[in-house]
Copies of this chain bind each other. A is one copy, B any other.
């Protein structure tokens, strides 16, 4: 911990945090589901007991709305309890047994084999800038790491340090009161201390949600250690949307409004914001152009973020054949965080020529609308899209032919994304057993893992098989006679 101040963590402080995490690791790895629930519940209660204070702090630091932030705190508390449910169920351990066998059909006699997932040890969690709670100090990776049996050290995000460190204080109070070692949840402030922690042999796994550049640099640090460790980064996602001709014709207004809400919500600063939208040329682009003009400016997390966004957007606008489809109401000149909503557009032919540049994430309230004349363009464009967290298809469910078309588009999207959304918008990530919040690079560094959902605990676990082990040497989940 860092005593609630946002001063950069010193080398001595970091050493103490990591030593405490390492010391707490064996006992926590051996803890039972009821103990883990007790810890996670205590953290959820601590969060809920300070909603107003935390939301006020986060608003000062991030310019996100009260509704968004208080909803986020609720979700974060839910995530902590959800992780406890996953542990209680036990299926997350993926325990499998083979009984010994001398069967003549086997290539060799089979010993008693029992496999289970074991906790890796101390985890380093890099907070996200755009979710001070849900992907913050007590966010989804922290919940999953603790639930999986790993102490967690959180690298505080510079975009909302006070919000994070107040959560750290509340967490420390809750741990103390419930008799848990403080080493179960530590924090570190500062970029350089964060990298030092990532290099430390006591850290056994790391997770990150943030920019492509930052994430790839940290991944390299994790790989260049004497013993590389898993680094799970969620880095950038253009989240393609495909609108079929039938949907554009019969659900025009619904699709247009849904898209604009999804592009501009939370200032477009969501990892699942649609960035590239393939729509039939015609009435839908025209309606989008009209509707976007009514949109109020969005507030971005920080002035720096707004400047980066504008630079990236200017690059897209300078590409040949790319035009402004429409812009929202202009922002006040004296507000350094405000940003008007923007839609760019180009043709399918132009998009095919410069897809690499057009299909990079732009983090803010903007999207590129690609107008196609013929559905055949989808067969060319979709397979060439970069990996994304989500891909969406908007179709007409009442039209059997269009359902078949949507199924084909979904098949193409499924090869490029982690979640295929039908007639919904991807800016909702359910905390649920089947959720997968990951995708091919650049969306994730490892597309088999997820930061949200029932499988999120697996990031912090590793399979080990015990061969011919005496009962005493087996982890609890493997003891006893086979089921």
Interface residues of A (CB under 8 A from B): 71, 74-75, 78, 96-98, 105-108, 110-111, 113-115, 118, 121, 227-228, 230, 386-387, 397, 403-404, 406-407, 410-411, 414-415, 417-424, 428, 430-436, 438, 440-441, 446-448, 450, 454-455, 458, 462-470, 472-473
User: Chain B residues near A421 (CB, 8 Å)?
Assistant: 467-468
User: Is A463 a contact partner of B472 (Cβ separation < 8 A)?
Assistant: no
Q: Please provide the 9 A-B residue pairs with the shortest distance between their CB atoms, ordered closest to farther.
A: A407-B473, A75-B107, A113-B434, A115-B434, A98-B432, A436-B465, A96-B434, A410-B473, A422-B468
Which chain B residue has the least Cβ–Cβ distance from A429? B108
Contact of A418 among B96, B417, B464 (CB under 8 A): B464
Given the complex of chains A and B, what is the CA–CA distance between A421 and B465 in angstroms? 8
Q: Tell me whether B107 and A386 are in contact (CB under 8 A).
A: no
User: Which of chain B's residues have a CB closer than 8 A to the CB of A432?
Assistant: 98, 110, 113
- Asked if residues A397 and B470 are in contact (CB atoms below 8 Å), the reply is yes
In the bound complex, how far is the Cα of B418 from the Cα of A467, in angstroms?
11
From A78, which residue of chain B is reached at the shortest CB distance? B107
CA distance A440 to B230 in the complex (A): 10
A418 touching B98 in the complex, CB below 8 Å, given contacts A430-B113, A435-B113: no
**Contact (Cβ within 8 A) B424 A467:** yes
Query: Smallest CB–CB gap between A156 and chain B, Å?
Result: 24
* Residue contact B430 to A111, C-beta cutoff 8 Å: yes
Contact of A467 among B386, B419, B455 (CB under 8 A): B419
Question: With A and B bound together, what is the CA distance between A430 and B96 in angstroms?
Answer: 14
Given A107-B74, A111-B424, A115-B436: A419 touches B462 (CB 8 Å cut-off): no
Task: Identify the closest chain B residue to A121 (Cβ).
Answer: B415
CB–CB B422/A467 < 8 A: yes
Judge whether A440 and B227 touch: CB under 8 Å: yes
Give the residue name and chain of the B residue nearest to A430 (CB).
B110
List the number of copies, as a whole number.
2
**Contact across chains for B436 and A406 when beta carbons are under 8 A apart:** no
Complex contact B450–A463 (CB within 8 A):
yes
Task: Give the distance to chain B from A424, nearest Cβ to Cβ, in Å.
Answer: 5
| Complex contact B227–A387 (CB within 8 A) | yes
Contact of A470 (CB < 8 Å), options: B78, B403, B440, B464: B403
B residues near A97, Cβ cutoff 8 Å: 433-434
- A144 CB, nearest partner CB in chain B, Å: 15
- A467 — nearest CB in chain B belongs to which residue? B421
Contact across chains for A422 and B473 when beta carbons are under 8 A apart: yes
Beyond the given A71-B107, A96-B433, could you list 20 further A-B residue pairs with CB under 8 A, ordered by the A residue number?
A74-B107, A98-B432, A106-B431, A108-B428, A111-B424, A113-B432, A115-B436, A115-B455, A403-B473, A407-B470, A407-B472, A410-B466, A411-B473, A418-B464, A418-B465, A419-B464, A419-B466, A421-B468, A436-B465, A455-B463
The answer to whether B464 touches A420 (Cβ under 8 A) is yes
By a CB distance below 8 angstroms, the chain B residues around A403 are 470, 472-473
Pick from B114, B415, B434: contact of A98, CB below 8 A. B434
Query: In the complex, which residue of chain B has the Cβ closest to the Cβ of A428?
Result: B108
Q: How far is the CA of A125 from the CA of B415 in the complex (A)?
A: 21
Q: How far is the CA of A419 from the CA of B462 in the complex (A)?
A: 11
Contacts of A108 in B (CB 8 A): 71, 75, 428, 430
Asked whether A419 and B465 contact (CB < 8 A) given A410-B473, A473-B406, the answer is yes
Question: Which of A113, A423, A473 lies at the interface centre, i.e. has the most chain B CB atoms within 10 A of its CB?
Answer: A473
